[in-house]
Each structure stands twice: as structure tokens, then as C-alpha cells.
Amino acid sequence: KAGVTQTPRYLIKTRGQQVTLSCSPISGHRSVSWYQQTPGQGLQFLFEYFSETQRNKGNFPGRFSGRQFSNSRSEMNVSTLELGDSALYLCASSSTLGGYGYTFGSGTRLTVV
């Protein structure tokens, strides 16, 4: 079966702009979680969506938001980009809520200049 698909793979944005990243989970998976990976901090949890509802949220500012559609696809939005938002953004899908059985996508590499 197809894996978790994240688009785009690479993105360059300017400070102050906003960006939307997309994640298509494995067919049948209803949970989608987002993580930020930076060299100094490892993987940090952003939020989890299940059945179109945000179920869990990490410790990130309100500039980071997300949503999930009825087909379980999810988008993550970052507004007013800062240089420190440059990172690899990873999406993981699961058939259950709460972080079990994650399958990760290859990520979107965001560079803010």
C-alpha cells in the first residue's frame, strides 16, 4: 500500500510569509501527527489530528496550526515565518490515536531566508 505522502519535499520562503504543508496518510489511517525536526532539538511534537479534530497539541506558538479533512489528509500552516522555523517537518499517520504505530512520511524541508 502507498506510504505517507508529504508535499512539497522542499520549500524556500521569506521571513514574514506564510506556508502550507500537506500530508496524505496511509489509506485507512485516521490519525495524522506532525513533528518538527531541527539539528539541535530532535523531533518535537506539533499536533495530532484524528477524525478531523485536533486531539493533542505540543508546545508551539499559535503561528503553527493545522487541520484535517474528511479524507484524513492533513495540512499544516505556519504564519509569519521566522528564520528559526527552518526545519524538516514530518508527518506520521496511524490507525489509532495517541502515537502508536506511526508511519512517517519523508518530510518537507522548509528553509526560511
Partner 1 sequence: DQQVKQNSPSLSVQEGRISILNCDYTNSMFDYFLWYKKYPAEGPTFLISISSIKDKNEDGRFTVFLNKSAKHLSLHIVPSQPGDSAVYFCAAHAGGSQGNLIFGKGTKLSVKP
Task: Give the residues lining the site for partner 1 (CB under 8 A).
Answer: 4, 33, 35, 40-45, 48, 55-56, 58, 90, 92, 96-100, 102-107
Report how far apart, in Å, the C-alpha atoms of 100 and of each of 29, 44, 46, 83 are: 12, 16, 16, 32
CA pair distance 64, 58, nearest whole angstrom: 10
Nearer to partner 1, 83 or 100 (CB): 100
Nearer to partner 1, 33 or 68 (CB): 33
The C-alpha angle with vertex 86 and arms to 84 and 92, in degrees rounded to 5, equals: 120
8-state DSSP, 44: E
Q: Give min distance, CB of 55 to partner 1, in A.
A: 7
Q: How far is the CB of 15 from partner 1 (least distance, A)?
A: 25
> With respect to partner 1, which residue has the nearer C-beta, 40 or 62?
40
